[in-house]
A and B are shown apart, each in its own frame.
Chain A
Amino acid sequence: MSTVPLLELRELSCRFGGLVALDRVSFAVQAGEIFGLIGPNGAGKTTLFNLISGVTAASSGELLWRGGRVGGLGPDRLNRLGIARTFQNLRLFDRLPVLDNVLVALQRRPASTPLAGLLGSARHRHGERERRERAWQLLAELGLTGLAERAAGTLAYGDRRRLELARALGTDPALLLLDEPAAGLHPAEKEALCDLIAGLRARHQLTVMVIEHHVPLLMRLCDRLAVLDFGQRIALDTPEVVRRDPRVIDAYLGGNGSPGTGAGEQR
């Protein structure tokens, strides 16, 4: 592990009017790890992702990326720095073909000016070729090759989830935020997703943060876990330690002392 964490949260808070969604949350994510985030509904998990991805601005506290302050930057700037995300309720470009959904993510590499595009310069044509090759690669990696021409809105749920992954990977991130990637998948798909995420980390040199309600999946997948409850971080450690933490059991896993059996809310 490097000395400077990839991402660091220092006393990060987020208030919406009188509601405190996040209350002075601090932790650091090291490059290369898979970092899980759990907690009951309304604990502030998605809000935390919104802060890290720049969708929502923090009320106070600091957000550091590779040691530099990045609080207040918008989602486009943060993505260009290397932070990509998926959404809990999938935000695909439903009317565009699957291939174009990924192509949008590949806009910037290689860069192309509108004028070069209009005139069809050699550099632009080369860039388009490169973009298409890369898009097909990503589709192949996520098993979507056969669906490339279909409108994204017509895909089955599991395919839509994987398309959102392909699209996020298209921006070539260092940190990938996955907001409930297994929601709505059946058990066999959940297993496959688990392997997929681990494989993506290895192939794309990713650091992954993942919100998930399916506890067994997280226990298997994650190097470390943070637990949120009512906007506060109540635990932060390896899965083995977290699952025995009395506060976590109390807040989330149910007070019966048998965690790891898939407790918590399922949607």
Chain B
Amino acid sequence: MIDNGLLVQMLINALLGVSVYLPLAAGQLSLATPAFYALGGTLAALLSTRWAALGVGADGSLPLPGFALELLLGGLLAGALALLLGRLVLRLQGIYLAIATIALVEITRVAILNLPFTGGAIGIFGIPQPFPRAAGYLLPALALLALAGWVCQRLEGMPLGRAMAAIRDDELAVRCLGIDTTGVKLTAFVLSAVLAGSTGALAAHFLNTWNARQGSFDASVTMLAFVVLGGSGSWLGPVLGGLLLTALPELLRPLGDARLVLFGLVILFGPALFPQGLISPALLERLGRLGERS
């Protein structure tokens, strides 16, 4: 039921969930992840097709170093854009920030749709494959997720991560403790963008085709759902949310059309039954105590 292709898609969505989570961990509801995801994917698609700069073989294969470089460049480009735009949009708070970042997603989508070299509505086809089979993407996707999880976990024992958590509770109080909260929020925003950009570069190769629809408002909402269902108290929440909500429609396939109804019910009642998400602070505490005992 779960084939390798679905597994990779699940991992990609887990990564995007973490990308939404990072600014949220500093109290910032940013929905810009699809814009950075689209940017990374478009860059990877262009680099390996139009510009053939990374040693693409005649048979449409892509050497691994070229693939790795694309992941890096996709992340860097998205991160650079986030650094430029962050100071501007992060002046906004709460729902206004969400709206501004939705605008960013739309601007990126329309730009990719209309630029002369991004293939318009059809997009870019025949993106070279670094791996002959879907299973090949499992390793880089897992590695990226492990890296993202490691960063999130390290943050908790660091001044930066503590400042993020404190800003989530009370930003003014954090400023009154001498901390440049704009810098902290900007760092979280840039980290989120780098992750989304790299994920986009990976996804472009995996999907073999890339177009403007990859980064849409719909995607913003879906990615937010990963965090809401999984829980925003820890990075594990969006990972679980991304994995589950991607796998669920496939797992429910035997139910026929009823699966979409059931999927809708999960989205509807999940947050009602688990207001703090599946991975809630209380659950983490219980797990922590179990860990201490053993």
- Chain B's nearest CB lies how many Å from the CB of A173? 9
Smallest Cβ-Cβ distance to A173: which chain B residue: B178
Residues on the A chain within 8 Å of B179, using CB: 76, 104, 107-108
Structural contact, B158 and A105, CB atoms closer than 8 A? no
CA A93 – CA B26 in complex, angstroms?
13
Q: Is the CB of B170 within 8 A of A91?
A: yes
Q: A100 vs B166: C-alpha distance in the bound complex, in angstroms?
A: 9
| Residues B138-178 near A (CB distance < 8 A) | 151, 154-155, 157-160, 162-163, 165-166, 168-170, 172-178
Most chain-A Cβ atoms within 10 A of its Cβ — which of B157, B168, B179?
Answer: B179
In the assembly, what is the distance between CA of A97 and CA of B125, in Å? 52
Proximity string of chain A (86-109) to chain B, C-beta cutoff 8 Å, 1 when within and 0 when not: 010001111110001101110110
The B interface is mostly helix, strand or loop, or mixed, namely: helix
Q: Is the beta-carbon distance between A96 and B170 smaller than 8 angstroms?
A: no
Which one of A15-23, A58-66, A77-85, A138-146 is at the interface? A77-85
Inside 8 A of B220's CB, which chain A residues have their CB? none
B234 within 8 A of A: no
Please state if B173 and A107 are interface contacts (CB–CB under 8 Å): no
Interface residues on chain B, number (Cβ under 8 Å): 26
Q: Which of A111-119, A185-193, A233-241 contacts its partner?
A: A111-119
A128 at the interface (CB under 8 A from B): yes
Interface residues on A, range: 35 or more
| Cα distance, A171 to B169, chains bound together (Å) | 19
Query: A residues within 8 A CB of B176?
Result: 53, 55, 75-76, 79, 84-85
Q: For the complex, is A74 an interface residue (Cβ under 8 Å from B)? A: yes
Task: Knowing A87-B173, A96-B166, A104-B166 are in contact, say whether A114-B187 is a contact too (CB < 8 A).
Answer: yes
Q: Which residues of A contact B281 (CB under 8 A)?
A: 95
Contacts known (A93-B165, A93-B166, A118-B158); A104 close to B174, Cβ less than 8 A: yes
Q: Are B162 and A167 in contact (CB under 8 A)?
A: no
A42 within 8 A of B: no
Q: How far is the CA of A138 from the CA of B169 in the complex (A)?
A: 22
Pair B177/A107 contact, Cβ less than 8 Å: yes
Using known A-B contacts A114-B158, A117-B159, determine if residue A105 contacts B177 with beta carbons closer than 8 Å: yes
Contacts of B170 in A (CB 8 A): 91-93
Give 5 A-B pairs besides A79-B178, A108-B179 with Cβ atoms closer than 8 angstroms: A79-B176, A93-B165, A94-B169, A96-B169, A107-B178
